[in-house]
Structures are given as C-alpha cells and as structure tokens.
Structure 1
Amino acid sequence: MTPAELTPAHIGGYRVERVLATGGMGAVYLVQSPTLPRREALKVLSADLAGDPRMRTRFTQEADITAGLDHPNIVRVHSRGDTDGQLWIAMEFVDGTDAETALRAGAIPPQRALHIITEVARALDYAHRNRVVHQDIKPSNFLLGARPGEQERVVLSDFGAALTPESADLSGGPMTATLAYAAPEVIAGKTVDGRADVYSLGCTLFRLLTGRYPFPHHDDVSATINAHLDQAPRRISDYLSWAGPQLDDVIAKALAKDPAQRYTTAGELAGAARRALDAAAAAPTPRTPPSAAQTSSGSATSGAAVVDFIGHLPRTQPVASKRRILAAAGIAAALVAVGLVAWLALPAREPTHNPTSSTPSAITDPAAAATLAAALPTGYPAGSCTSAGINADLAAAAVTCGPAPDTGGPPTATYTLARNHTALQSLFAQQTAAATTVVCPGNVQSPGPWHRVANPTVPVGMVFCGLAHGRPLVAWTTDDKLLMSTIEAQASDSPTLDQLYTWWASHS
C-alpha cells in the first residue's frame, strides 16, 4: 500500500490532510484543528513503541518541556493526548522551510545566516535561563516561516532531546542525537549545560556560511568523534575569500573544547558573529562568497512546510557517580545523507544478521575458524554456534550462535572475524546502516567507542545500539581481535534493549 492509503483520516479528533514525515519511530501529520480554523502539525508515537512505559514517559516529557517555554522563537505546543493508546502531540505548523533545506537549495547569504543564528540564539538564551538545554541544535531544527514585508520568522523546534533538572531518569530507552554538531562533553558523556548548545550553534554558523561542516570527514563516525574531542575546527576563511581572521576567531571560540573557553551565552556568539561580519564588509576589498553552497550529496527533507519534529527523545543529565560495567562514550550517528539524525525521517529496516552476506560463501579457513572460536563471548554451550556465510573480501570466518542460555541473553547472534581493520570498519558501518540508531542503555550514545573500566582511556572498539521494526539489537567491534559482533532480539521486548546491553556488558 502507498503512504496515502495508509494515512488515517482522523487522529484524536484532528482531520489529517497529509503526511509530513514518517519513520521507524512514528509519523508527523499535517492536520486540521478540531476546534479552531487552523492547521497544526501532529506528532504521533508509533503504535509499536506506545506500549513501552519509558517511551510513553519520554514522549510526554517532550511535550511538557516544550509547552513550558513561551518565546516567539520556540515552536508552540497546543495540546497532547492519548487516543486508544496512541500518543500524540499537536504543535504549531510553520508554513515555510527549514535552514538545512534552504541551504541545500542554494547558498545562504551571510546576513540571512546571521539573522537565523541571532534568532535561534534568543530562543536558546531564554531556554537556558529557564534551565532547559536543547541538545540538538542544527539547521534542520530551525524552521523558517515566510512573512510578507518582514524578515522571515525563525523558530527553534524539536526539544525531544532537551535536558532539565526535572527530567525523569529514562536511561535505557531509545534516543538519538546528531554527531556533526555535538559538543565534546556530550560525546564524552560529561555534565552538560547551555554551553553545549553554544558549541552546536557555532558548528551551525560554520555550516550556514560555508555549506560545509567545521570538521572534515563528517560521514566517518570515528573520525568525527576524534575531531570534536581533539582537533581544532577548520578556518572559515579557508572557504570564504571575504572572511577575515575575526570570523575565524569567532568559530574557534564557539568550538573550544573546554566549555569555560566558549562564549557564555548564545547571544554573545551571535553578537561576535555580527561584529566579525561587519568587519569583513568594511574591509578594503571585500569579495563575494561562493555562489552555491557546497553541500554534501543527499536528499533534503521533503515538504517545504515540515515542522521538524524529526528529532529525539529526552536524555537525562549523566550522574558522575554512577558505576557501569563498561564505560562508553559516543554519539548517535544515524546519518541521513549529510550526517544528520532524524527521528522520523529514518525508515525502519530489517537488521542485517550478517552484513557480509551479500556475496556469501560457506568456505572458511580452519585456522580462521579456530581464531574466531577463541574470540567468542563466554556463555555459549557446545554446539550452539554454526558456521555462517561470509563475504570473503571482508571476512575470514563467521558463525551464528544462539540462543544464549543466560536470562536476557540474545536469542540470536552473529560473530564475524574481519580480514583486517579496514574490513572491520566496513562490517560495522554496514550493520549500523541496517537499523535505526538509538542511544544505548545507561545514556551511552551510539555508535561510539567503548572502554573497559580497568583501562578507561583505551578504546576497545565501537558499540552500536539500534532498532529494526521495533526489535532491539546491539553490535560492537573488538578491534584487537578483528571481531565484529551483533546480538538481536526476536520481538520489541524479548529480550529488551536493556537486557541485550547488559548481556553484552557482562560477556565482552
């Protein structure tokens, strides 16, 4: 059936006009208000997830946080409800586009970019004064509404990942975030405050002005994580011939690794950017910026009037004293063409039990099979693992195992011995592309490096938590063993993501 044939006529009394966005977690509809002559955007939680108490709490919390903010540059929540177990949030419909879509349509002039950043900064400073940290600042969350005769309206949307002091401790459930704009303290799982939003706003300023990201190789998860943690951003003057060192300094300060070295507020960043642009305009021989944004390939979010609710579920502030079996840090990187994570824009896909199976071969080197057997997690009884097909270009051996006898253990698992480190990265990338990314239990974002408590400064490999049609999976690499592993559930709660992750943590 086509999406139109699947679209309900009414939800919670709202008459549905069309779908704005869909994905594995739910949908957003353009609807007609049942009580007022206006259209609204209705965000609806997937029926598959509506039975999960944590997901319901997260969804409700998102509405509470947004509804508690009253600012002209923040999207408004009109209502929320539960219709026959189906949760929905009715929100303001901004008829226009978003900054990411506008950027892909062509270069954004510097003054328009400054206007967008300044308006978002006002929203952020207001939110921060009210002890709300947005945590997902990026161009696709900036809604641009046309106003004849006036400057376009800029509205900050998607508070699904927002932090407040009252945020419920909902660690363990799905959550996504955006790697390309993430502050180092977010990646590392440290305490987060409004300066993390300032960092993300600096990344956004760089992108709106240049059409690029402040760090190269944004589509490489490991490289981008390392860049945010350890590398200085690129100089904006390397891409804009008219930009001077003052604008380079603005980006460098906004993207300082230490939050204490950044601008204290988003408004300070916007003001510094304005002064830098004024200085560039006053230079003796200002030159014209490139005529087209050098954006990455990929399709933009469809629908000019989509209110960008395709966001994320709230994350609570990390508790420094919490002990974990494994210490891990990372950032969600379900990349939609340009490295942006979209909660509803990512379609759910079947997990790939063995990502090497596109050109399967049953031929396995006995020595490689023995090496793989020695690297398997403990807990599998004899005879529970059988040889699996491999892509000989990437893998030397593979087995499928299961079910694990432990309580909460995976009913099925695939373990693959990669031929080399490059092949291991390819296997991991294939697996992460085969499911919707979520944050791992314990508020650990994914994909990201994982560490053992005994040696927390040395990464062991990469870990990934995901969903495919609501079914959780955990995948990870053990780099020194060239081992790629994936464990999966058979249903949305059998076992749960918590159970799978706990099993992984105690068997790796």
Structure 2
Amino acid sequence: MRGLAIRRRAVWVGVGASLVVLAVLIGVGRVALSDRDARAPTRDAARTVASQAGSATTFNPSEQRIVGLLPPGYSAAACARATDPFPTAVASLDCSQSTDSGTPTYARFTLYDDLDALTGDFQTTASGMLVSPCPADDTFPLPGTWSYGPNANQIGGKVVCGSIADRANIAWTRDAQLLLATVNGGPNLDSLYQWWQRYGILTQH
C-alpha cells in the first residue's frame, strides 16, 4: 500500500536475541510461547476454527467489534471465538481463510481496552517467533513500527516479521483501535508481507 512504511525504534533494541525463540507445536495445534500462556494460530487450530465457524456462532459486542475491524477477505462466517486468548484480552477471534480469498491461511485478531496490555501481548507474541527482517527493511530484524499516509511521523502501530514452526508469520498492532493481529501461512514471508502491505492495516468497512 502506497505510503506504508516500517520504521526502526530504539525502544526495541532491548528485545535482542533473547526474544528470538523457536516456538514448538504442543497438543492440538497449540504453540507454546517462551514466557506466557499465549498462542498463535496453527494448521490444526485453523481446521477447528473452520468447523466451528460453520455453525451458528453468536458473537458478543466486543467480538462484533473485531468483526468490523477484520481486514478485507475475512468474514464473520470464517471466524470463531478463540479458546485460549491472552488473559488481558477483551475479546479474541481465530479466523480461517475465506473461500476464493487471497487472505493468509490462519489469523487471530485480539481486542484490548488498554494500550499497555496490547503492547505487552505484542511483545510476548514477538518472543514466541523466530524473528527475521521484514522484506521492506532487511537490515533490521527486530520489531519496529509502521506509519501510513502523508504524515510519516504518525505511528500507526507496531509490526514484527518471522516464523513459527517454519511457517511465515507477521504480527502487528493497530494502536488507535487497540487491536493485535497475527497471520501465518502462505508460500513464504515475502508473499505474506505483500498481503500485509495491501490489507493488514485496513478494515472491511
């Protein structure tokens, strides 16, 4: 997306190599993170989401708010309530790839009522990834920030690229909306990042 840029921030220097931890799959498609009980979508989990989403799911108001913030290509019909959300989350949905959609195969969208909680869970998500440079900034592997539009100094949120269990993974925040998003799947990180540039910061509406 034109005008979208990733910038480095000194605040992330302390993340360092200690946050570069390979996550492993546990049980039925769960990813164990290094220091907290947090998980990213996995292949088996997404199959479960797809089957749950086929049933009549009634979302509460917070979950409906997430539905309104989903990137283009995802729909309420392809999402289900997360069974293992972050404890600090207000609501969390796991979503599978919509039919005939170019969206990433699996995704999780989590809503907060506090920026500090959002930032903390983003950092925990990054610590559960094998972090690598985002394709647009291949000299800087640590988490950074993204900005959008004519004002490049206005930070939209945080972003980190890498992999989980050998699957390309991108996590980012939309700070103004208090939303944390994680997507994985696709042939490689380049194609996943291209999707993120086009749609990751947009909503359906």
TM-score (norm 2): 0.71
Aligned to 1:501: 193
Q: Structure 1 residues 325 and 412, CA, compared in 2 at 3 Å: closer, same or farther?
A: farther
| Contact persistence 1:326–1:452 (CA under 8 A) | yes
How much does 1:339 deviate? 4.5
> Does residue 477 of the first structure (1) align with residue 173 of the second (2)?
yes
**Equivalent position of 1:358 in the other structure:** 37
Residue 406 (structure 1) shift: 3.4
Q: Does 1:326 align with 2:4?
A: yes
Q: For the Cα contact (< 8 Å) 1:402–1:412, is it kept in 2?
A: yes
1:410 paired with 2:104, answer: yes
Contact 1:450 1:463 in 2 (8 A): yes
CA distance in 2, matches of 1:462, 1:354: 22
Shift of 1:453: 3.0
Q: Could you tell me how far apart the structure 1 residues matched to 2:77 and 2:105 are?
A: 15
TM-superposed CA distance for 1:475, in Å, is 0.3
Q: Would the alpha carbon gap of residues 359 and 406 (structure 1) be closer, same or farther in structure 2, given more than 3 Å must change?
A: closer
**Cα drift, residue 347 of structure 1:** 4.5
Partner of 1:341: 17
Aligned-partner residue type, residue 191 of structure 2: Q
Q: Give 1:371 deviation, angstroms.
A: 1.4
User: Which AA in structure 2 matches 1:327?
Assistant: A
**Deviations along 1:176-199, whole A, 9 cap, x unmatched?**
xxxxxxxxxxxxxxxxxxxxxxxx
AA paired with 2:116? T
Mark the CA change 1:353 to 1:377 in structure 2 (over 3 Å): closer, same or farther.
farther
Is the aligned partner of 1:449 residue 2:145?
yes
| Greater strand content | 2
SS in 2 for 1:395: coil
For the residue of structure 2 that corresponds to 1:371, the secondary structure is helix
Paired residues of 1:395 and 1:418 also in contact (CA < 8 A): yes
Q: Which residue of 1 aligns with 2:129?
A: 435
d(CA) in 2 for partners of 1:350, 1:327: 31
CA distance in 2, matches of 1:416, 1:403: 17
With the length of structure 1 as denominator, give the TM-score of the two structures. 0.31
| TM superposition shift of 1:324 | 4.9
CA shift in 2, pair 1:452/1:353, >3 Å = farther
Could you tell me how far apart the structure 1 residues matched to 2:104 and 2:60 are? Answer: 26
* 2:120 alignment partner, one of 412, 423, 426: 426
CA distance in 2, matches of 1:480, 1:334: 20
Distance 1:347 1:392 in 2: 19
Residue-by-residue CA offset, 1:295-336 (whole Å, 9 max, x unaligned): xxxxxxxxxxxxxxxxxxxxxxxxxxxx9551111269998x
The answer as to whether partners of 1:332 and 1:447 remain within 8 angstroms in 2 is no
Matches within 5 A, 1:293-332: 324=2, 326-330=4-8
CA–CA separation in structure 2 for the residues paired with 1:410 and 1:503: 8
- For residues 124 and 16 of structure 2, the distance between their equivalents in structure 1, rounded to whole angstroms, comes to 17
Shift, 1:422, TM fit: 1.2
Secondary structure of the corresponding residue to residue 170 of structure 2: strand
Q: Aligned ranges for residues 47-196 of structure 1 at < 5 Å? A: none
User: Structure 1 CA distance, aligned partners of 2:172 and 2:75?
Assistant: 21
Structure 1 position 484, deviation (Å) = 0.3
- Rounded to whole Å, the distance in 2 between the matches of 1:375 and 1:497 is 23
Contact 1:353 1:414 in 2 (8 A): no
When residues 354 and 420 of structure 1 are mapped into structure 2, their CA distance, relative to the original with a 3 A threshold, is farther
- Between the aligned partners of 1:325 and 1:353, the Cα distance in structure 2 is 34
| Equivalent residue letter for 1:371 | R
Distance change >3 Å, CA 420–CA 339, structure 1 → 2: closer
Whole-Å Cα distance in 1 between the matches of residues 137 and 38 of structure 2?
Answer: 36
**1:348 match: secondary structure:** coil
Kindly provide the amino acid, as one letter, of the partner of residue 417 in structure 1.
L
Gaps of 5+ in 1: 1-322
Cα distance in 2, alignment partners of residues 479 and 457 from structure 1? 15
Q: CA deviation at 1:375?
A: 1.3
Shift, 1:373, TM fit: 1.3
Equivalent in the alignment of 1:488: 184
Aligned-pair distance for 1:378? Answer: 1.5
Q: In 2, distance between residues paired with 1:424 and 1:331?
A: 17
Tell me the secondary structure at the aligned position of residue 463 of structure 1: strand
The 1:391–1:332 alpha-carbon spacing in structure 2 relative to 1, beyond 3 Å, is: same
Which residue of structure 1 aligns with residue 74 of structure 2? 380
- 1:365 Cα deviation (Å)? 7.7
Q: Which has the larger radius of gyration?
A: 1
Q: Is the 1:353–1:486 Cα contact (8 Å) retained in structure 2?
A: no
Structure showing greater relative contact order (alpha-carbon pairs closer than 8 Å, 6 or more residues apart): 2
Task: Report % sequence identity.
Answer: 27
CA distance in structure 1 between the partners assigned to 2:5 and 2:32 by the alignment: 27
